[in-house]
Chain A
Amino acid sequence: MTVHNAHPPGFAHQFEDMQQQREADSLGMWVFLLTEIMFFGGLFASYIVYRALYLPAFEIGSHQLEVRFGALNTAVLILSSLTMALAIHSAQVGKRRAQVAFLITTMILGAAFLAIKFTFEWHHDYVEHLVPGFGFVIRPEWGAAGQHVPMFFCFYFFMTGLHALHMIIGIGLLTVLTVMAHRGRFTPEYYAPLEVSGLYWHFVDIVWIFLFPLLYLIGGRYPGAGH
């Protein structure tokens, strides 16, 4: 295997030059995100089918959720996308300490999202017997629609759980990036790992932007809000 000594750090042998590598990395992530869209897409499609079939049950289910925490988490995630973008910008202009600071902020915001999700929301749901398969109780006040409320919660936990899994993977990526940034691996010429991880992070953010209204905001929660 030929050793390309003349090339900058981070250069992989199979490429001709740094630009080709950067373009390949970026296209690779876009293609991966296409796969992710189809992955979540199957789930969204099933959600839409059952929401159309059992709208009253889905509205009852949605009303059990803590919309305040969902809204707070939306804000946290959007903020984290901003700090992620700022971390990439810092790499482009060659500011190492700012890179590390913004990456750590992004990680903290991501962790805050998960903490709110697990402790205030999922734990609360568990206590309230709203977890299908783990002692779900169908309440009499839900009436005839009640029997399909577990299906809403099934989708709720599966969709937010899959999203949370993506967040955890994202935080793992950020940990590696932070170490790399700290060691000064990124330069204005080479910051592709940062850039493609940023794409991923924004994607996970956008998935939540769709999940939040689909799960939390259906069926007119407040009086006079068009119900």
Chain B
Amino acid sequence: MDDRVILRVGAKILIPFILIFALYVQFHGDYGPGGGFQAGVIFAAAFVLYALVFGLGNAIKVLPPKAAYFCGAFGVLLFVGVGYASMALGGEFLNYSVLAHDPTHGQHYGIIGVELGVLITVFGVMVALFYAFAGRRRLDR
């Protein structure tokens, strides 16, 4: 891939914007369209693009497979953690209203926390999936 200058430069320009867009989708997702699922996939797409253009080895240097696994599990913990926090504060599981002094803010924090958990999990799982498939040896050769 070393001679494909246009691809490399194009990818380098695009990747930051993809990441920013993912974060936009994420933080816009509490009251508008968007959210963790989409954001996580877009975020992972940036890594997949990086891996496709610069090679799997470089991508693994940026984000080792172990870190991807960790993200996948950690996001679920964050999600469930928000649920436990709301139970500890006297509400039902995932009842965000009790998370802050007034319910509107509580809903806000709760959704952001949960969506962040979803983002991290989806991102981690998507990248781990990509590594798992891309890391297999070539079967036909």
Q: Do A and B bind each other?
A: no
Using a CB–CB distance below 8 Å, which chain A residues touch chain B? none
